[in-house]
Amino acid sequence: MYYIIVALQVYCIYHLIKNRNQYYWIFLILFIPVLGSAIYIITQVYNKRDTEKIQEGLTAVLTPSKKVKDLEKKLEFSDTYQNRIDLAEACFEMKDFEAAITHYEIALKDKTQNNFFVIKKLIAAYYHTSNFERAVFYGDQIKDDLDFRTKNAQFLYGLSLNELGRDDEAEAQLRQIDQRYSNYNERLALAKFLQNKGKTEDAQEILEDLKTESQHFTKPNKIKYKPTMHEVEILLAKA
């Protein structure tokens, strides 16, 4: 036992010196061998990287505009397609959809690029600003592309069609989202859409599928989709 404690102390001191940690840890490790070494390992070895990640995340949350400002300076210094897309993405992440639209629209003018990605983002950005006409305008441009099918952009395109009163076209798009073991939130929205159209049997089938699939969720998915499945249960109970 004695040699294990000594080995633990040696390791902690070696780690401390190598990583240039505060030297007051040496006194804790030497004078309270077991507890001191344990505290050092927990706080400085295993959790240090996680702590740094948390701190970085907190900085991003507390100063959400910093990333945008940095990317604005980068774009001002070098006005490239990629720099503008990066800025548009940062604005989108902050839910500043109007600013994101501005930059996506400018990027779209570069005809040397494959702008499929940009168009998908414009559909989403315009949907979130309730500009359903523009969302549909861009959706019409790529709706026949295989890479558009069953994706979030197609879902928002379908919802935009519905907002414009184009119910049949909306249903045709939204039904393509009904893919087993995926698109759980979107399929719940589709079920509610079908209920509103009076297609209760179709809606019921989707809800039953969702309930069955939820029984095979991994633990992370159970947590992630708990509110979704709770709503599924409520709708099934009302049926």
Looking at the 3D structure of the chain, how many domains does it have? Answer: 4
Indicate if 172 and 182 belong to the same structural domain: no
Whether residue 8 sits in one domain with residue 21: yes
Q: How far apart are CA 1 and CA 143, in angstroms?
A: 69
Residue with tokens 């990066």: 86
Q: Give the domain extent around 32.
A: 2-54
**Higher-scoring residue by pLDDT: 34, 201:** 201
Q: What is the pLDDT of residues 38-87, one digit of tens each?
A: 776 666 665 545 555 545 554 554 456 778 888 999 999 999 999 999 99
Alpha helices in 32-151 (DSSP H): 33-40, 48-62, 64-77, 81-93, 97-108, 116-128, 132-142
Judgement on whether residues 182 and 217 belong to the same structural domain of the protein: yes
Look at residues 179, 166, 108 and name the one whose alpha carbon lies nearest to residue 138: 108
Using a cut of 0.95, tell me whether the model's pTM lies above it: no
Is 127 inside any structural domain?
Answer: no
The answer to whether 211 touches 232, Cβ cutoff 8 Å, is: yes
In a domain, 217, yes or no: yes
What pLDDT, on the 0 to 100 scale, is given for residue 38?
72
Say yes or no: 109 and 163 in one domain: no
